[in-house]
Amino acid sequence: MNIESLKFPIGHFEQPETVTPEIFADWVKIIADFPKRLIEATDGLTEQQLDTPYRPEGWTVRQVVHHCADSHLNSFVRFKLALTEDNPTIKPYFEERWALLPDGKTLAISSSLKLLEGLHERWAVLLGALTEAERQRTFFHPEHQQEFVLEQYVGFYAWHCSHHLAHITSLKAREGWG
């Protein structure tokens, strides 16, 4: 397996030209179901397995789980800002540095799994209630020097859920971890 397929086991995110109500609903369902799927994927893993990188020079399974909590918390706040302010400039963060902090490297994953359960429950309710106009609201990302539309960002985060879940499930498959 080459490094690119290990980094992106489901490929890169591809934004559809048009986001239909069906596509949007599918994305919301992926986001809603993510904590359950992540819990299932990590259930029964040993400490040694949790501390195994999903690829050479990559994060460990533990860091991936904690990264999802960090990233999704930031994204939820970005959504709230975009829904309550006019094209706010969001605060970027250094995800690779966050993953190296003690809570990301050594803490049991249970706290992030619990956090994701509550966060995704709220996020899915919020997303499911958005009007068409709200789905078109935006925020500005200074690191990318780009404006993001919430509707498109939902798609990216649905992909993000599946992307990191695949890091874990493909590692388990390669290592034969039942």
Whether 11 has a pLDDT exceeding 80, the answer reads: yes
Residue boundaries of the structural domains of the chain: 21-175
> Are 24 and 156 a contacting pair, CB within 8 Å?
no
145-155 tens-digit pLDDT: 999 999 999 99
Q: Homologous superfamily of 21-175 in CATH?
A: dinb family like domain (1.20.120.450)
30-70 tens-digit pLDDT: 999 999 999 999 999 999 999 999 999 999 999 999 999 99
> Are 153 and 140 a contacting pair, CB within 8 Å?
no
Distance of CA 15 to CAs 12, 23, 157, Å? 10, 11, 11
Distance of CA 172 to CAs 5, 44, 50, 61, 62, Å? 15, 11, 11, 10, 13
Beta bridge partners of 140: 89, 147
Query: Whole-angstrom Cα distance, residue 157 to residue 28?
Result: 9
> Are 118 and 76 a contacting pair, CB within 8 Å?
no
77-112 tens-digit pLDDT: 999 999 999 999 999 999 999 999 999 999 999 999
